[in-house]
Structure 1
Amino acid sequence: MADTVLDKIVARADELRELGPDNEAKGSLTDRTAALLREAGTMRMLQPKTHGGMEAHPREFAETVMGIAALDGATGWVSGVVGVHPWEMAFADPKVQEEVWGEDQDTWIASPYAPMGLARPVDGGYLFSGHWQFSSGTDHCRWIFLGGFLADADGERVSPPQSLHLILPRSDYRIVDDSWDVVGLRGTGSKDIVVTDAFVPEHRVIPYNKVVDGTAAREAGLTNPAYRLPFSCAFPLGITSAVIGITEGALAHHVDYQRHRTTVAGTRIKDDPHALYALSEAAAEIAAARAALLDNLSRMYDIVASGREVTFGQRAVGRRTQVQAAWRAVRAMDEIVARSGGNAMRMDNPVQRFWRDAHTGLAHAIHVPGSVFHASALTDLGIEPPQGPMRSMI
């Protein structure tokens, strides 16, 4: 009997795997793919129990995302991105939680959080406008988190900048249908979003700084340690888990393809010591990337579960670990894809799709190492990084 979400995914593995090309051809998850995720309860793993959620351990969530992504990259990516949004919704005003989940606890919430909008204060809330890219899984969502900057009465961004997360129903934003034409993760349907002078009541707004410093969770009275994790640990978790899971999928398809392959020189791969060495090394590196991400998460969880705060230095190291895990897994995947032979690049071979999906996932802003590694090195040296971009998402 299937007990966990991952058990249910495994039971549907063949169908989810076979739906991968259909997702890519459609440019978003098929209705059947979304239905399978709903049946398994994927998006309710981090949802509060007060609204039908499981409040699962974040490690279980990450492992489930990896398992899904190994079957199909786009499905895993949407599971990781959309699946983390109920975690933040748990901090929101109970009124908006009821609006989102009151009639249907399987309602999905999209994003992005990038502050590409301006919110001008008006009576009872804000008038909000903006244009966002990369709203993964958005066709299957009925609400959305959008990032924006606070504006003054004239519509100009206030200084110093104040970032907000605003929650809108599907009726208040427009999905730009032809805005997702990319080389990888095509099946995620990560389309553009446009908002024009939407009224957002005060109860649907969360100050970003309260999410980052944990104030929102404390004010909501949440006691489950999962909700006390730093945003910079919880938010990237689904994205990096998906990338690592995609590389695991690439590895599995590479092994399956190489099992009976013979090179043009007549050498069977199973007799080629160089190919076998590369295969083992890549498998070990991908496994190490998985272990590093999960261990980092478990350490963060244990800190907050003990009632302690995660320091800036610990958060910086955590982000460094998370970013490096993604890069490590993709580099390892590249080593085996380069040894898969020219036929691996044919569109009917899953290897090339996983390869494209992994590199597109690595290009996400959350995986850019520069400022993260810089900030982490400074904290290792005992030097507090300056304010600004270097502290962003740490």
Structure 2
Amino acid sequence: MSETHATSGTPGTASGSPAGDPLGLPALLRPAIQAAIEEADRRADIPAELYGTLRDAGAFRLLTPRALGGSQTPLTTVLKVYEEFGRIDASVAWLVWNANFGFVGALLDESATARIWGGEREPAFANSGMPGTAVPAGGGYRVSGHWRIVSGINAAEWLVAVVVVMEDGAPRTTAAGAPDVQMCVLRRDQWSVKETWDVSGMRGTGSNDVVVEDAFVPADFLSPLDAPLRIDEPLYRGFLPALVLPGCTAVVLGVAQAALDETVALVLAKKNSTGATLAESPRTQYAVADCQAALQAARLLLGSAAQALEDAAGRGDVPTLGQRADLRAAMTHAAQVSRQVLVTLYELASSTPLYRGNRLERLFRDGMAALQHANHSALAMEAAGRVRLGMDPGVGLF
């Protein structure tokens, strides 16, 4: 897609947003999001105008340091924001999650952040956790890679990608004996986009493929995840991947909650062959209560696990492997709950979610697509089990 996603505004300002209240953003932006849903579905990407509206309101600077114009919002609050966006539209919520990579500013050298945040607008990020390669070359690295399903890439000005540093054709190892894995920030003119996003669910995310071929990246645009913080604030201490990993789960919980809300409204009005409403059926009553209880429990568990990491960082402690395992287990559990809720509600709604244009139909296909993310894999629960058994998790970025 060749359309330029342009917007105006100054980093650190949020036109029309509730000052200091990220939790108010979803409600503030709901009308603009709802007005663009059909166009995003047709285009298989977010409309430029809506992207600009989200950007100007501050939806993409939730995790950015205050020193760089961000709101530096606590993780537990950010997850609530993602969930509320998910209740409005899954694709927009997904893009908000993926664009919130401003926390890299707490790691990168000031020379790099001056270039990234040096313009008149909030920088627009996309990201991928799939590994590319970086080969040392005078003053920097030659970076190559093919990253699949990169949400929001058509609007992005910067790509934050994971790379493995290579030497003599093999991964370079750190002092700890592990592969040297770093975050790398690339400019828009250093990659090409392959239009591959031909899907049924989450269409508005524009999650196309990205190819980088031997691009030179200065050394200050790379950083190990465990590098000393340049901006040392509690939000960035401990385990940085935790700022990213649970975001997709919060989105899915929002989608499942929205599906439940839609189903409740439906069964109160829809009648069966005897003339009674679906809501009068004991089966319906049980299913609605069961789904609500399951979602609430999953939400509380995820929030509790995130709060434990947040509290540890606030005390200056490094989150334990057990606390990180609790987060991953909570994510997989919430994904399993959300999937079961969506299936239960799809059955309960009878023929209604079969029809395109019905909100339940969209919520179901979007929710199921979001649940396919690798972060929701059962492998994470297995890894959490290994930790509980005193073993190594055996999973990267765990």
Normalised by the length of structure 2, the TM-score is 0.89
Aligned partner of 1:261 in structure 2 is: 270
User: Residues 190 and 215 of structure 2 are in contact (CA less than 8 Å); yes or no, is this contact kept in structure 1?
Assistant: yes
Closer, same or farther in 2 for the Cα pair 1:288/1:105, shift >3 Å? farther
Q: One-letter code of the match for 1:299? A: A
Q: One-letter code of the match for 2:309? A: M
Q: How many residues align?
A: 377
> Could you say what secondary structure the match of 2:353 adopts?
helix
Aligned partner of 2:388 in structure 1 is: 380
> Could you say what secondary structure the match of 2:134 adopts?
strand
> Would you say 1:12 and 2:29 are equivalent positions?
yes
Closer, same or farther in 2 for the Cα pair 1:326/1:254, shift >3 Å? same
What is the alpha-carbon distance in structure 1 between the residues aligned to residue 291 and residue 210 of structure 2? Answer: 38
The percentage of counterpart residues that share the same residue type is 25
Closer, same or farther in 2 for the Cα pair 1:2/1:259, shift >3 Å? farther
Aligned partner of 2:137 in structure 1 is: 122
Spell out, residue by residue over 1:148-171, the C-alpha distance to the aligned partner (whole angstroms, 9 max, x if none): 222225x55447642222111101
> Would you say 1:393 and 2:368 are equivalent positions?
no
Map 1:84-103 onto structure 2 (within 5 A).
85-103=101-119
What is the alpha-carbon distance in structure 2 between the residues aligned to residue 324 and residue 202 of structure 1? Answer: 39
Aligned partner of 1:280 in structure 2 is: 289
Q: Which structure carries more helix by proportion?
A: 1
> Could you say what secondary structure the match of 1:338 adopts?
helix
> Would you say 1:188 and 2:196 are equivalent positions?
no
> Could you say what secondary structure the match of 2:201 adopts?
coil
Q: One-letter code of the match for 1:171? A: D
User: Residues 113 and 165 of structure 1 are in contact (CA less than 8 Å); yes or no, is this contact kept in structure 2?
Assistant: no
Map 1:16-165 onto structure 2 (within 5 A).
16-83=33-100, 85-115=101-131, 117-153=132-168, 155-158=169-172, 161-165=179-183
> Would you say 1:247 and 2:259 are equivalent positions?
no
Superposed displacement of residue 292, structure 1: 1.4
> Could you say what secondary structure the match of 1:255 adopts?
helix
What is the alpha-carbon distance in structure 2 between the residues aligned to residue 79 and residue 373 of structure 1? Answer: 26
Q: One-letter code of the match for 2:124? A: W
Spell out, residue by residue over 1:112-165, the C-alpha distance to the aligned partner (whole angstroms, 9 max, x if none): 1210x2211111111111111011111111001112222225x55447642222
What is the alpha-carbon distance in structure 1 between the residues aligned to residue 350 and residue 316 of structure 2? Answer: 52
User: Residues 185 and 222 of structure 2 are in contact (CA less than 8 Å); yes or no, is this contact kept in structure 1?
Assistant: yes
What is the alpha-carbon distance in structure 2 between the residues aligned to residue 23 and residue 10 of structure 1? Answer: 19
Aligned partner of 1:310 in structure 2 is: 319
User: Residues 5 and 40 of structure 1 are in contact (CA less than 8 Å); yes or no, is this contact kept in structure 2?
Assistant: no
Structure 2 portions without partners, runs of 5+: 1-16
User: Residues 147 and 165 of structure 1 are in contact (CA less than 8 Å); yes or no, is this contact kept in structure 2?
Assistant: yes
What is the alpha-carbon distance in structure 2 between the residues aligned to residue 231 and residue 339 of structure 1? Answer: 40
Normalised by the length of structure 1, the TM-score is 0.90
Q: One-letter code of the match for 1:96? A: A
Aligned-residue Cα RMSD (Å) equals 1.9
What is the alpha-carbon distance in structure 2 between the residues aligned to residue 156 and residue 304 of structure 1? Answer: 35
User: Residues 182 and 223 of structure 2 are in contact (CA less than 8 Å); yes or no, is this contact kept in structure 1?
Assistant: yes
Closer, same or farther in 2 for the Cα pair 1:67/1:196, shift >3 Å? same
> Would you say 1:167 and 2:185 are equivalent positions?
yes
Aligned partner of 2:230 in structure 1 is: 220
Superposed displacement of residue 249, structure 1: 1.8
Q: One-letter code of the match for 1:316? A: A
What is the alpha-carbon distance in structure 2 between the residues aligned to residue 300 and residue 156 of structure 1? Answer: 34
2:372 is aligned, of 359, 363, 381, to: 363
User: Residues 112 and 135 of structure 1 are in contact (CA less than 8 Å); yes or no, is this contact kept in structure 2?
Assistant: yes
